[in-house]
Amino acid sequence: MTIMNWTGSLLMVGCGNMGGAMLTGWLAAGLDPAAVTVVDPVIDKAPDGVTLLRELPEGAFDAMLLGIKPQMLGDLAPALEPLAGKGTTVLSILAGVELDSLAAVLPRADGHVRIMPNLSVAIGKSPVGLAAKGLDRAGMDAVTALIQPLGSPEWIEEGLFDLVTALVGSGPAFVFRFIEGLATGAAKLGLDPAQAQNLALAMVEGAASLALSSPSGPGELADRVASPGGTTRAGLDVLDADAAVVTLVEATLRAARDRSAEMAREARG
């Protein structure tokens, strides 16, 4: 896990599943818990050293992370606005809330950033899509330093955010479903279900690690495993027939992307 090289104060407004996973990842990477203030009326406790409040505080913070339900932003904005002045960067994991909407309700902040992680942030293994409005290069570098310990940050154009949401945010579920398919298929062909799952999980972990460490792309690696006329090639021929895998995955990502865009339109009202 990347060690934290970001020093600043962080206000987390809402700390549900995703916010909590991000906080876990930051603390594991060495973020000073005393630098974090969490405002959440529901959670029982915060990690040791982190300040937990039930109501918004006074004062200034270097970064404010919005982890509330998107539909709550309008009602909370007047109370948040005094905390989002010059010197503060607003970070948002609110699904469907666009940068222009954030800037409209919190206009005095130095800049606004949309963040698309997944729950792997807790172990520092999440790709993280980032889109910004109003930040200069130094501001973007500061945000990168904050996000780096959570995985692999990538700055993108906001127009691609719905697609990144489908790939990064929803993607783990699609991978889990494929792992389940491998295990279920092997069990139907005779393996003990528990053994099939263990083998499928270990195989995917090893394959992903190899793909990350190899200079070759996944397609080339697949072809290296598959010798002509061999067992792997026989299986790949099924997956590759009529571009079956690509067609299925493209349709899957399109459905998730389009739903993300629909949610953004609903958020705009």
Per residue in 198-219, pLDDT (tens digit) is 999 999 999 999 999 999 999 9
What burial class does residue 266 get, using C-beta atoms within 10 Å of its C-beta: 0-12 exposed, 13-18 middle, 19+ buried? exposed
> What pLDDT sits at residue 93?
97
Q: What is the pLDDT averaged over residues 147-175?
A: 96
Q: Where are the domains of the chain?
A: 10-161, 171-263
Q: What is the pLDDT averaged over residues 121-138?
A: 96
Amino acid making up residue 87: G
Domain 10-161, CATH class in plain words:
alpha beta
Pair 161, 129: CB distance under 8 Å: yes
**Whole-angstrom distance, CA of residue 220 vs CA of residue 237:** 15
**Average per-residue pLDDT for the chain:** 94
pLDDT in tens, 62-110: 999 999 998 899 999 999 999 999 999 999 999 889 999 999 999 999 9
Q: What is the pLDDT averaged over residues 136-155?
A: 95
**Whole-angstrom distance, CA of residue 136 vs CA of residue 160:** 20
8 in helix, strand or coil? coil
> What pLDDT sits at residue 263?
84
Q: DSSP class of residue 30?
A: T
> What pLDDT sits at residue 2?
65
**Whole-angstrom distance, CA of residue 107 vs CA of residue 86:** 10
Q: What is the pLDDT averaged over residues 147-164?
A: 96
Q: What is the phi/psi pair of residue 24, to 5°? A: -60, -45
Per-residue pLDDT band at 162 (split at 50, 70, 90): very high
Domain 171-263, CATH class in plain words:
mainly alpha
